[in-house]
Amino acid sequence: MKIITKGIILVTALIALLAYSTVMASEPDCTNTRHEFKFKSYPSDETRGWYTDKCCSIDIDHVVSLKEACVLGLPKSRWEEFANDRENHVPACSSVNRSKGSSGPEDFYRKATDGKGRDYIIVRFEEYLELYYYILNKYGLEKEPFDRSSLFMSSRR
């Protein structure tokens, strides 16, 4: 009787584990988004970064990053559309783009001003915020808004 009970418990545990792993496999992990989103990069004719208005080597930056869109729940069926939506692209200085990474507005501003790396001045921060929230809205993504005035006040040196 003990062997049968242990067998039933083991089989039940295996079924639960299999069901859990199947659910987890269908959930995106948002770690390899550039490849999974099928972003088709393209050269820019611009020589000035949109965020800084400085002459520099240019990358195409996603205003709302692929990773953030994934984390906020963008359906996988819209990933390629999102990645290649030029309304979500700006020409950015390569160093600023690398610094920004997948950051949203709060972290992007902090990275620009915290003195821990390459500091830069985001001259179009208000325009960036407008575009950022426009893109979130366009794709039905929601993120808690933040108090912009406290962001500026707390970030001043």
Q: Please give the pLDDT value at position 73.
A: 96
55 located within any domain: yes
- Please give the structure tokens belonging to residue 52: 């800084």
Predicted confidence at residue 27, as pLDDT, reads 57
Give the whole-angstrom CA distance, residue 82 versus residue 74.
Answer: 9
So what's the pLDDT on residue 156? 45
pLDDT at residue 34, rounded to an integer: 76
The reply to whether 84 falls in a domain is yes
Tokens of 77: 């069926």
Res 25: pLDDT? 42
Query: Cα 38 vs. chain centroid, distance in angstroms?
Result: 15
pTM above 0.95, yes or no: no
Residue 95 forms part of a structural domain: yes
Listed in sequence order, the residues at least 6 apart from 149 whose beta carbon sits closer than 8 Å to its beta carbon are none
Q: State which residues of the chain have pLDDT below 70.
A: 1-28, 146-157
Residue 10 lies in a domain: no
**In which residue are the tokens 């426009």 written?**
134
Place of tokens 């692209």: 89
pLDDT at 143: 87
How confident is the model at residue 157, as a pLDDT? 41
- Helices H, strands E: what count in the chain? 8, 2
Contact 51, 94 (CB under 8 A): no
Query: How many separate domains does the chain show?
Result: 1
Residue 16 in any domain: the answer is no
Full domain range(s) for residue 148: 31-155
Establish if 21 belongs to a structural domain. Answer: no
